[in-house]
Amino acid sequence: MACCVLQITGLIFGGVGMVGTLAATVMPQWRVSAYIDGNIVVFETIWEGLWMDCISQLGIRLQCKFYDSVLALPPTLEAFRALMCIAVILSIISFLMAIVGVKYTHRTKEDPQGISIFILAAGVSFLLTGILVMIPVSWTGGSIIQDFYDPKVPMPLKRELGAALYVGWVSTALLITAGAMYCSFWCWADTSSKSRYPSLSRHRFQTLMLFCLLCVHKSYFKI
């Protein structure tokens, strides 16, 4: 019962983290204009994201514009785009593998030898996705804080942490937690299977070695 709850909880965390990763990727609120002077009335708010920048006028009118040239973008922004796109794709794959793994595990829950490899693959993929999201989000947050306290940066160019960064950090925490849950479940299941079936690991190793020898044998005769 505890294992079932652990798997379902990991699936929920992974699903929410997947949605958060997609939201953080498309949201324009990565960098938000900072107002640190004495003006009470603010007429415009500037948002800067990975794909576009937006100007909100008094919270009524919103104008957004995609960046004109990809080649004219800073190298860091291009790298952050690539990392977040890879993270979105990997999070979807991880979530699908987790669903397959949970279903297969529930079908063979009475047999420790039937624990699906998809559980381990989903756990590792969730961990990798969390790291991929954490890199651009944390890098951008550190850059914003450094420029904010740098006296050489003009006041109009100072920015604050946007909502997309917080969404990214929460998604990172959920993805890493989901990955840790699935990896822990795999380790527990593997330990349980070894205690009940001591020859299980040796059998898996022998099967893997036999498969590798067959592949080498076929490649040799093809040459």
* Angle formed at CA 46 by CA 43 and CA 48, multiple of 5 degrees: 175
Alpha-carbon torsion (108, 183, 207, 194), positive or negative: negative
Q: What pLDDT band is residue 197 in, cutting at 50, 70 and 90?
A: very low
Q: pLDDT for 41-80, tens place per residue?
A: 556 788 888 999 888 877 677 888 888 877 778 889 999 9
Q: How far apart are CA 187 and CA 195, in angstroms?
A: 12
183 CB-side CA count, 13 A: 13
Indicate whether this model's pTM tops 0.75: yes
